[in-house]
Amino acid sequence: MDGATRRTSRVRIAQGSLTRVLLVFLAMCAVLSVDAGMAAAATGLVGAQPAPGALLERGPSGLRLQFSAPLESHFVVLELWQDGQIASLPARIDPTDPQAVVAGVGRSASPPGTSWVRWRVVTADGHVFAGAYAVRVGGHASASPAPPGLTFTAGEWVAAAGRFLVLVGLVVALGLVVVRWAVVGPSWQAGGVVGPGRPDDRAVFRGRTRAVLGQGAQAWWAAWWGALAAWLAGAVLIAVGMAWWIGAGTSGFGVLVTQTRVGHAADALGAFGVAVGVIGLALRRRDEAGRANPPVGWGIALGICAAFGVGVLAWAGHASDGTDVVINIGADAAHGIASASWLGGLVGLLILVVGPGQALGDDDRVRLLAAAVVRFSTLAIASVAVLGVTGTYRALAELSSVSQLVDTGYGMVLVIKLGIFGLMLAAGGYSRIILHPRLERAALGLDPGDRGASRALRTSLRVELGMALALMMAVAVLLAMTPAG
């Protein structure tokens, strides 16, 4: 077996192992996503007066529940139920604590017996917590039937699907813009990687490759419109799912989308999606749409809307709770933009250069691909550095102890996310250390026999994209859960 065959065999074995590990992580993500709602509900309530099973004295008193995040005042329910009837006053947010809800109980409101405390709240970061527990009133032990539930599980799944679609749509849309205007376009304009002593034939090279990159631009537009469709559909599903989850009805849906943070976030995501769609239509109607290196102003316009969408996700999520809100939101937004530049950039690199480049001759393909992957490697390294800093900061803000990584559902999903991230780093390191130098040597004419690296890179990118999808699944599950800390 010659050296090239051995290298190919090792690559295939490594890729097969990575694929099997990826499938395991996908299965784990799916299992944990099933339990996400229950885990969130279990950790949402952090204090109750009276406690479950405790004695509620007859006379002027009240109910008070403490939660793990600030609450929306429009959908607060806290009731004392006795014999199928409400025996408490209307609930309200505690004026001294935005994370607590209180309700009064009158002197003659409830006879002795076993009563029920029923509650439902919507947190500012878009979680719904609900439940009921029994308390004793006086000394008599007569039983009272449990009150009906207050939430609809199907709505929870719809809202979770919406978050996932928004996340994928934003990451892909922004990454596609970044890789087209910051990587592929400049690489083509510069004439690719050219060996020393060769004549300046950049104009001729651009002429030979223009048509192929135009085909890549068509695929780019198809992927970009698909990402925008996922983004807009997700924004709608978040609002519809939340309203369904809490049984808000038509009038409650209006309150949700106009007077709550999660509703404002869905509105903003939809508005930014419509705006970027209008910009995309305007560009699509111009001759520049299919050019290999369209004007940078269009890329800035498309990218800003997607970046604002990432910022909206940060503002509407866990980063907006607790202390140092501005720093946390900024770190979360930077984390999202860096993720889009790297993960979404993989999609762009594959459909803009790697795929269409197969129609080019060996020299032109390797010359263009080597330039693009060198630029993308720089972008990916910078993105990973930002992800490491911001991810560490956000993890410290969300967890209060290392043990919560294994003792809580949120911590376990975070560990899975970190594991997938580590696998992606390993795959990216293989491409950067092994494949990229082979492409550069081939482009410089130093090792013509190494041009099979372009095929290996294509396979490696597909494996990394599979891992990226698993990573976004884990992130979507984390968004649906309450941080352990």
What are the tens digits of pLDDT across the range 318-331? 888 767 888 999 99
What integer pLDDT is reported at residue 15 of this predicted model?
Answer: 42
Among 351, 347, 354, which residue's Cα sits nearest to residue 372?
A: 354
Q: Which residues pair with 75 in a beta bridge?
A: none
Quick check: is 264 in a domain? yes
What integer pLDDT is reported at residue 140 of this predicted model?
Answer: 52
Quick check: is 381 in a domain? yes
More confident residue, 177 or 459: 177
Quick check: is 40 in a domain? no
Which one-letter DSSP state was computed for residue 290? Answer: G
For 352-396, the pLDDT digits (tens) are 888 888 888 877 888 888 888 888 888 988 998 998 899 888 888
Q: How many residues does the chain have?
A: 485
For 276-301, the pLDDT digits (tens) are 999 999 988 887 777 778 889 999 99
Q: Tell me the two tokens of residue 312.
A: 């909206």
What integer pLDDT is reported at residue 258 of this predicted model?
Answer: 92
Is the pLDDT reported for residue 121 higher than 80?
Answer: yes
Quick check: is 466 in a domain? yes
Is the pLDDT reported for residue 232 higher than 70?
Answer: yes
Sign, Cα dihedral of 395, 398, 402, 406:
negative
Q: What mean pLDDT comes out for the span 59-66?
A: 77
Question: Is the domain of 82 the same as that of 122?
Answer: yes
Is the pLDDT reported for residue 113 higher than 80?
Answer: no
402-432 in b/e form (b: 16+ CB < 10 A) is eebbeebbbbbbbebbebbbebbbebbebbb
Question: Is the domain of 386 the same as that of 244?
Answer: yes
Domain boundary among 150, 174, 189: 150
Strands 61-67 and 100-105: antiparallel
Question: Is the domain of 27 the same as that of 131?
Answer: no
- Backbone Cα Rg of the chain: 27
Quick check: is 232 in a domain? yes
Q: What is the pTM of this model?
A: 0.83
- Beta carbons within 8 Å of 319's beta carbon, 6+ residues apart: 325, 328, 329, 331, 332, 394, 397
Question: Is the domain of 416 the same as that of 309?
Answer: yes
Domain boundary among 150, 181, 209: 150
Q: Is 146 helix (H, G, I), strand (E, B) or coil?
A: coil
Rounded Cα distance between 103 and 65, Å, is 9
For 298-320, the pLDDT digits (tens) are 999 999 999 999 999 999 988 88
Question: Is the domain of 221 the same as that of 161?
Answer: yes
What integer pLDDT is reported at residue 365 of this predicted model?
Answer: 81
What integer pLDDT is reported at residue 26 of this predicted model?
Answer: 44
Question: Is the domain of 304 the same as that of 451?
Answer: yes
Tell me the average pLDDT of the chain.
81
Is the pLDDT reported for residue 74 higher than 50?
Answer: yes
More confident residue, 48 or 13: 48
Question: Is the domain of 59 the same as that of 91?
Answer: yes
Quick check: is 357 in a domain? yes
What integer pLDDT is reported at residue 389 of this predicted model?
Answer: 92
Q: Is 59 helix (H, G, I), strand (E, B) or coil?
A: coil
Quick check: is 404 in a domain? yes
What integer pLDDT is reported at residue 12 of this predicted model?
Answer: 45
What integer pLDDT is reported at residue 52 of this predicted model?
Answer: 87
Question: Is the domain of 141 the same as that of 165?
Answer: no
Look at the chain and report how many structural domains it folds into: 2
Give the angle subtended at the CA of 357 by the CAs of 356 and 363, to the nearest 5°: 165
Rounded Cα distance between 168 and 164, Å, is 6
What integer pLDDT is reported at residue 192 of this predicted model?
Answer: 77
For 452-461, the pLDDT digits (tens) are 667 777 777 7
**What count of other Cβ atoms lies within 10 Å of the Cβ of residue 145?**
11
Question: Is the domain of 109 the same as that of 24?
Answer: no
Is the pLDDT reported for residue 1 higher than 50?
Answer: no
Q: What mean pLDDT comes out for the span 226-237?
A: 96
Q: Tell me the two tokens of residue 442.
A: 């081939």
**71: CATH:** 2.60.40.1220
Local confidence band at 138 (pLDDT 50, 70, 90 cut-offs): low
344 Cα distance to chain centroid: 12
Write out the residue range of the structural domain in which residue 327 sits: 3-34+154-480
For 23-59, the pLDDT digits (tens) are 444 444 444 444 443 343 344 788 898 888 887 765 5
More confident residue, 347 or 12: 347
Question: Is the domain of 380 the same as that of 316?
Answer: yes
Question: Is the domain of 165 the same as that of 70?
Answer: no
Domain boundary among 150, 181, 196: 150
Q: Tell me the two tokens of residue 230.
A: 């996922």
Quick check: is 39 in a domain? no
Question: Is the domain of 422 the same as that of 291?
Answer: yes
